[in-house]
Amino acid sequence: WGGGWGDCYQCLPWKPQGVCLAFYESHFDTAIVDHEADGSTSNGIFQINSHLWCEDYKHFQPNFCKMHCSDLLTSDIKDDIVCAMRIAQGPRGLGAWYHCSV
């Protein structure tokens, strides 16, 4: 996973980046939804944003992970992991998440 590290860097010696990301973004809460100032939502354990990554049926954005945002709110996080990996493999890497970019 490339990009900036910020808070995620602090826990790398003891946990993989995905575990750090889940801790700093949601404290492992799979059902959390954060309403952003731009009207989008950040969803689930990795706080994946509806602006680009999932469909909320309100904004009709690109939906690069090809999933509904509510799918990110279940305890089955396999699809969340696939989407987070897609985001992390992009040009911003882990820097796409606030806690890993500061």
Is the pLDDT at 96 greater than 80, yes or no? Answer: yes
What does each C-alpha distance from 23 to 7, 11, 26 come to in angstroms?
Answer: 10, 10, 6
Amino acid symbol at 43: N
Is 55 known to be catalytic? no
In this predicted structure, the answer to whether residue 100 has a pLDDT above a threshold of 80 is no
Going from the N-terminus, what domains does the chain have, and what CATH number goes with each? Answer: 7-94 (1.10.530.10)
Residue of 58 and 15 predicted with greater confidence: 58
Catalytic entry in 1, 25, 67, 87: 25
DSSP at 55: B
How does pLDDT run across 1-26, given as a tens digit for each residue? 344 445 555 544 445 777 888 888 99
Indicate if the pLDDT at residue 84 is higher than 70.
yes
Average pLDDT score over residue span 62-90: 94
Q: Reduced to 3 DSSP states, what percent helix, strand and coil does the chain have, rounded to the nearest 5? A: 35, 10, 55
